[in-house]
Every structure is written in C-alpha cells, then in structure tokens.
Amino acid sequence: MVTDYHLRPSFPDPETYVTLREAAGMAPRSLAAAKRGLPNTIFGVTVVSGDEDDVDDGTVVGMGRLVGDGGTVYQVVDVAVHPDHQGKGLGTRVMDALVDYLDKEAPPSAFVNLFADVDGYYERWGFEPTAPASKGMFLRVTEDGVRGRRE
C-alpha cells in the first residue's frame, strides 16, 4: 500500500501536537503550554497522510512552524515527523515550505534561527552554526519555576 502525503498550511490542534512531539522523541510539552503557545504561530505546516480528497480527515504525521515577532526575528521550531513515516522526505518538504514562507514574507535583515538536534541536516537551507561568533543557550521552566537564576 502506498501512502499519499499532503502538506497543508496549518498547524495541528494542541492534542495532536503534544502526541506527535512525543512520538518523534522530542522534549515533551504540556497540553496547557501547547494551548497557550500554538495560536502564536506565525506560519506552520502539517503533513497529513491519506487521499487528497479526504485530507481534512487524514492522519497528521508531520509538522513544522515558525515563531517570532514576524519582522526582526523568526525561529524554526517543532519540525517533526512520526517515526512510522520518516525516511520519505517529509521533513524536507516541511522545511522547504517554512523556508519558502521566509523567502516571501521575512524582510531583509530578519534573523532566523533554530536549535538543531541532528548534525548536517539544516545546512542545505543555509543554516550554519553560530559558534564561535555567538553561543546558543536555553532556559527551561519546570514545575518548580525557573531554576539557576542568579540573585
């Protein structure tokens, strides 16, 4: 059986988002956080499996989105493909759609960044390591709040 895949310019509902991140082995996000954050997506794409006629009822198997202020800074986030559907070029299609959006909508001088957990993948779209010129850092908020804050 050959599965058809279709990209649509939308982002999954919070429940699907949380489930797909978990299936793809990404750091978990709470449903409450997803409900608050997903409406702030600047642009997102969803990969759906199924017949083109039934794409609204298909299974979400991939996603990716852009967040930021829509002018000076954009961040590529949540690029994920369900493991059962990996190796079929779906992640590439997601990234192509996100970069196409940036080509059309991001103004000159916009800064676009991402945190990569794979080596040698995002370079094909022009991304390059920031080190040593700059250093990527992060802070994760836990149930106990922000940790490591210096007084």
Count: domains in the chain:
1
CATH of the domain at 18: 3.40.630.30
Q: Is residue 21 part of a domain?
A: yes
Q: How far apart are CA 7 and CA 97, in angstroms?
A: 9
Residue 140 burial (CB count, 10 A): 8
Summarize the confidence of residues 101-119 as an average pLDDT.
Answer: 93
What is the rounded distance in angstroms from the CA atom of residue 98 to the CA atom of residue 79?
10
Say if 85 falls within a structural domain: yes
What local confidence, expressed as pLDDT, does residue 119 receive? Answer: 85
- pLDDT of 1 over the 50 cut: no
Residue that has been written with the tokens 């996100």 in this structure: 98
Residue 139's pLDDT is what?
Answer: 79
pTM: 0.88
Domain assignment of residue 151, yes or no: no
User: For all residues of the chain together, what is the average pLDDT?
Assistant: 90
pLDDT category, 57, cuts 50, 70, 90? low
Rounded to whole angstroms, the Cα distance separating 32 from 105 reads 30
Lowest mean pLDDT of 72-76, 79-83, 146-150, name the range. 146-150
Give the pLDDT of residue 113.
95
pLDDT at 106 over 80: yes
Domain that holds residue 88: 5-146
